[in-house]
Amino acid sequence: MAPINIVVIGGSFAGLHIAHSVLRDVPDAKVTLINPSTSFFWNIAAPRIVAKPTAFRPEQYLLPIKDAFASYRADAFEFLPGTATAIETTAKTVTVKPNEGEAKTLSYDYLVIASGSTTSATNGSLTGTSIPFKQSNHNDMEQLIEAAQGHIAGAKEIVIGGAGPIGVELAGELAEAVERSGNTGKVSITIVSATERVLPMLKSSASAAARKMLEHKNVKVVTSKRVVRVETPADDSSSWTVSLEGGDKLSADLYIPTTGVTPNNSFIPAHLLDKDGWVTVNKEMRVQSTDGSALPIFAAGDITNNSMRLSFKAVEQAQVAAANLKAEIVGGASIKSYNQGDSIMMVVPVGETGGTGQVFGFVPFSFMVKIIKGKHYFIDKAVSALAGKA
Ligand SMILES: Cc1cc2nc3c(=O)[nH]c(=O)nc-3n(C[C@H](O)[C@H](O)[C@H](O)COP(=O)(O)OP(=O)(O)OC[C@H]3O[C@@H](n4cnc5c(N)ncnc54)[C@H](O)[C@@H]3O)c2cc1C
Ligand SMILES: *[C@@H]1O[C@H](CO)[C@@H](O)[C@H](O)[C@H]1NC(C)=O
Ligand SMILES: *[C@@H]1O[C@H](CO)[C@@H](O)[C@H](O)[C@H]1NC(C)=O
Ligand SMILES: *[C@@H]1O[C@H](CO)[C@@H](O)[C@H](O)[C@H]1NC(C)=O
């Protein structure tokens, strides 16, 4: 019997989970997984990784993807390092630009879109310095991370744009790194929030706690000021002027934007996207075309139009997508559905000694944040995420 071809685009939380799930349960599946980087990046720990180069070893946060699939039949799985460049839903093909060699076109019976999102700091388009909060578009994560660590270690005036969880975590890590290197007073760290409090999505007592911890670590906290412009004088590309709403200006030798995520959708046909560029899915994680046609395409994770773009939500979506995909192929199993709910679950370390957040409506004690996430940024979970067991 000819194998059932399942092409998975994106090798991170969502795509890895679905690939494993199908391989485990569908005997005649042939899964092709496409991802530009040959390693999975534990980006959850990115704020600490870039600020403290020796906190973790690269092999803890960059894990080879192919090795995690070694236990399946060799002809059931192919890892294709590269980038999907086009999807043809009528012909049921995906065009791929492999990292090496000529472009090729793959036929699929089922397609999974798990291409996630990126941040502007990752590609460095704004300031010329990439701070890799997510996987890049190339197989260059180790070099990007090293370069970012070097830039950060050499910076004297760091401005962080945005005071959501990434901005706050990063500020806490940077402040500790400065303190440990004996540079207190010689390096300034400023975090700029457009809203009147940091972590505006959390309860106000969490915001107040985070602000206090940051200020205790000598981070300057600027609130109610949006960054409107970031520019460099033509004659000196190592210094930046960060202009704030209302006219204030900050000088910086490193500006790190931490707000907003953008969809990795350049290869996805417009009829599968909403107006903001996210892939439209129903509760069963099936991709919905604007023309109403039923497609053998599933999507999961940050790329979908579900608004909670968090790794554990990506995995929840992947569980639903995988179950429904398998049910469609082998028949029988019940249809699962995803509902992101409205409760906020967020744990935000501010350095290694404490932090804040919101869990089941409560603001956790600082020492609990340290125990849950602050000590290790869940780094030991990278292996199970890669194995599709998270
Ligand atoms: C700094 C930072 C800290 C975070 N911390 C937390 C946290 O503590 N807890 C939490 O729950 N969430 C956290 N998140 C959010 C979390 O990272 C995302 O929700 C999660 O990564 C989404 O997983 P995903 O599989 O949907 O997509 P992604 O992780 O975005 O991965 C998508 C993958 O697809 C690949 N890809 C993209 N385009 C193509 C293409 N054309 N062809 C082939 N491959 C492609 C990408 O290279 C990437 O490997 C954090 C995010 C950031 C930026
Ligand atoms: C970064 O992203 C922007 C916007 O998507 C794009 O125009 C630019 O070419 C990218 N830069 C790099 C270095 O990839
Ligand atoms: C993700 O999207 C960003 C912004 O559009 C782009 O710079 C980057 O190359 C994309 N990555 C992939 C893997 O397509
Ligand atoms: C995503 O888009 C689909 C199709 O337009 C819609 O039915 C669904 O409700 C949207 N999901 C969310 C969470 O808004």
Ligand 3: residue whose CA is nearest its atom 2:
264
Query: Rounded to the nearest whole angstrom, what is the distance from the C-alpha of residue 121 to the centroid of ligand 2?
Result: 10
Q: Where in the chain is the domain with CATH 3.50.50.60?
A: 4-118+261-337, 156-252+343-385
Determine whether the shortest distance from the Cβ of 306 to ligand 4 is under 6 A.
yes
User: For ligand 2, is residue 277 a contact (CB within 6 Å)?
Assistant: no
In ligand 1, which atom is closest to the CA atom of 122? 53
Beta-sheet pairing, 117-118 with 262-263: antiparallel
Which bound ligand lies closest to the C-alpha atom of 263? Answer: 3
36 lines ligand 3 (CB under 6 A): yes
Q: Quick check: 8 and 32 in contact, CB under 8 A? A: yes
Residue 126: its pLDDT value, please?
75
State the ligand closest to the CA atom of 262: 3
3-state SS, 323-356, equals HHHHHHHHCCCCCCCCCCCCCCCEEEECCCCCEE
Decide: residue 267, CB within 10 A, 0-12 exposed, 13-18 middle, 19+ buried. middle
Amino acid at 104: K
Ligand nearest to the Cα of 144, by number: 2
Q: Is 122 in the pocket of ligand 3 (CB under 6 A)?
A: no
Task: For a ligand 1 pocket test, name from 61, 140, 264 the mutation site with the most ligand atoms within 8 angstroms of its C-beta.
Answer: 264
Testing ligand 2's pocket by substitution, the residue of 119, 123, 139, 140 carrying the most ligand atoms inside 8 A of its CB is 123
Residues belonging to the chain = 390
Residue nearest to atom 4 of ligand 2 (CA): 125
User: What pLDDT is recorded for position 5?
Assistant: 98
CA–centroid distance, 44 to ligand 1, in Å, is 9
Q: DSSP readout, 18-41?
A: HHHHHHHH-TTEEEEEEESSSEEE
The closest of 251, 261, 192 to 220, measured between CA atoms, is 192
**Ligand 3 pocket, residue 139 CB under 6 Å:** no
pLDDT of the residue at 236: 66
Strand 249-252 with 39-41, pairing: unpaired
Give residue 15 CA to ligand 4 midpoint distance, Å. Answer: 20
Among 289, 264, 297, smallest CA distance to 93 is for 297
Q: Which residue has the tokens 């999961």?
A: 300
Q: What is the pLDDT of residues 163-194, one digit of tens each?
A: 999 999 999 999 999 999 998 889 999 999 99
pLDDT tens for the 390 residues of the chain, in order: 789 999 999 999 999 999 999 999 999 999 999 999 999 999 999 999 999 999 999 999 999 999 999 999 999 999 999 999 999 999 999 999 999 999 999 999 999 999 999 998 888 877 778 999 999 888 899 999 999 999 999 999 999 999 999 999 999 999 999 999 998 889 999 999 999 999 999 999 999 999 999 999 999 999 999 999 998 866 666 788 999 999 999 999 999 999 989 999 999 999 999 999 999 999 999 999 988 888 999 999 999 999 999 999 999 999 999 999 999 998 877 789 999 998 899 999 999 999 999 998 999 999 999 999 999 999 999 999 999 986
Which contiguous run of DSSP H or E holds residue 210? helix 204-216
Round to whole Å and give the CA distance between 149 and 132.
Answer: 10
User: Is 47 in contact with 173 (CB distance < 8 Å)?
Assistant: yes
User: Do residues 130 and 138 make contact, with C-beta atoms less than 8 angstroms apart?
Assistant: no
- Ligand 4 within 6 A of 317 CB? no
Q: Compute, in angstroms, the gap from residue 287 CA to the centroid of ligand 4.
A: 10
| Cβ contact 65:112 at 8 Å | no
Cα angle 175-57-372, degrees, rounded to a multiple of 5: 60
Which residue minimizes the CA distance to atom 5 of ligand 3? 264
pLDDT at position 155, please? 94
Tell how far the Cα of 130 is from the centroid of ligand 2, in angstroms. Answer: 11
Ligand 4 atom closest to Cα of residue 304: 1
Distance 327 CA to ligand 1 centre (A): 26
Who contacts 92 (Cβ-Cβ below 8 Å, separation ≥6)? Answer: 107, 108, 109, 111, 296
* Residue 127 CB–ligand 1 contact under 6 Å: no
pTM: 0.95
156-252+343-385 architecture in CATH?
3-Layer(bba) Sandwich (3.50)
**4-118+261-337 in CATH: which number?**
3.50.50.60
- Output the CA 191–ligand 2 centroid distance in Å: 24
Ligand 4 atom with the shortest distance to the CA of 288:
4
Side-chain-facing half-sphere of 297: CA atoms under 13 Å: 28
Angle at CA of residue 208, ends 206 and 214, nearest 5°: 100
